[in-house]
Amino acid sequence: MNFDTKPLSGKCVAVTRPREQSTEFVGLLNAMGAKTIEVPTIQFAPPTNRKALDDACNSANTFDWIVFTSTKGVEAFMERFIALENDIQSLKHIRFCAVGPATAAKLTDYQLSVSAVPKEHRSEAVAELLAEYVRGTRVLLPRADLAGTNLPDALRHAGADVHDVIAYRTIPVQSKRHDVHTMLIEKQIDVITFTSASTVRNFVAMMGGGSVTELVTHTLIAAIGPVTADAARSLGMNVAIVPKKHTVSALVEAIAAYFKITDPTYR
């Protein structure tokens, strides 16, 4: 083994998350020696009609809980909250729940304390964690337009008065389709990373739709968590890497660990 070689030296890793969220991820991969190719498959936009979001922002201090399931949800809600000249101090008494450590850290950027973070960083775990605390309370849930109904339904079943509001829209991006398709055929990409189910679905659409099983046969698929992994598997991908902790840093570490085990040059 060459101890001067970085863990991902010589590996090409495709990053499919939105460009505005890829800086940290790309930096971590590059630090490990990887060559990265950015293939953003989604981008974010404000709601088509902001009235519901504005109403939620202006009445945010009347809720008992505000629950966030992504860092983008925090950014979109808080940016609008501040733009409407609301005072963050008015939220200090509210209990906040974050789906994972990255989302919790984003809340602390706004000097907001987080009361609850589930051990498993997924919406189902949020519902399980909050079930015994939310009966008779008002819960605000600012999320993406494509978010499912399982979380608000579960919280309502637990007795909460849930206000589910669209904080931002997720829009497909059409970019680099030909280049990436060719690179996959020529086996030039070692790993494709996915950080949400939306990145999976829109990557498949970018590649022409239908089955991508044969296209990615010789490429490792790395998913940030089980929900993302399930989305990839449902669309014909063999997911090889899912970190135990569902963060981009853990994903990078898991990719490096995979090659350390499977690549004879590291032995």
Do 91 and 57 lie in one domain? The reply is yes
Share of the chain above pLDDT 90, in %: 81
Beta 95-98 vs 65-68: how paired, if at all?
A: parallel
How far is it, in rounded angstroms, from Cα 30 to Cα 17?
16
Q: pTM for the complete prediction?
A: 0.84
Number of domains the chain is built from: 2
Q: What is the pLDDT of residue 267?
A: 47
Do 105 and 204 lie in one domain? The reply is no
In a domain, 1, yes or no: no
Do 161 and 68 lie in one domain? The reply is yes
Residue range 20-52, pLDDT digits in tens: 899 999 999 999 999 999 999 999 999 999 999
In a domain, 213, yes or no: yes
* Nearest partner of 215 among 231, 203, 229, 228, judged by Cα: 203
Share of the chain above pLDDT 70, in %: 95
- How many other C-beta atoms are found inside a 10 Å radius of the C-beta of residue 187? 11
* Full domain range(s) for residue 180: 12-41+173-266
Do 199 and 165 lie in one domain? The reply is no
- CATH number for the domain that contains residue 98: 3.40.50.10090
Do 59 and 72 lie in one domain? The reply is yes
Domain's final residue, options 169, 197, 227: 169
Q: What is the pLDDT of residue 173?
A: 87
Do 64 and 128 lie in one domain? The reply is yes
Do 89 and 184 lie in one domain? The reply is no
| Arithmetic mean of pLDDT over the chain | 93
Domain's final residue, options 169, 201, 216: 169
Do 194 and 228 lie in one domain? The reply is yes
Residue range 218-252, pLDDT digits in tens: 999 999 988 899 999 999 999 999 999 888 999 99
Residue range 104-124, pLDDT digits in tens: 999 999 999 999 999 888 888
SS3 content of the chain, % helix, strand, coil (to 5): 40, 20, 40
In a domain, 110, yes or no: yes
Do 64 and 178 lie in one domain? The reply is no
Do 81 and 23 lie in one domain? The reply is no
In a domain, 245, yes or no: yes
The first and second tokens of residue 181, run together, are 């398709």
Q: What is the pLDDT of residue 1?
A: 46
In a domain, 16, yes or no: yes
Domain's final residue, options 144, 169, 194: 169
Do 84 and 114 lie in one domain? The reply is yes
Q: Please, where are the H alpha helices in 150-210?
A: 150-157, 177-185, 197-206
How far is it, in rounded angstroms, from Cα 164 to Cα 147?
10
In a domain, 3, yes or no: no
In a domain, 36, yes or no: yes
Segment 98-109 mean pLDDT: 94
Question: Is the predicted pLDDT of residue 149 greater than 70, yes or no?
Answer: yes
In a domain, 4, yes or no: no
Do 136 and 200 lie in one domain? The reply is no
- Top pLDDT among 82 and 260 is at 82
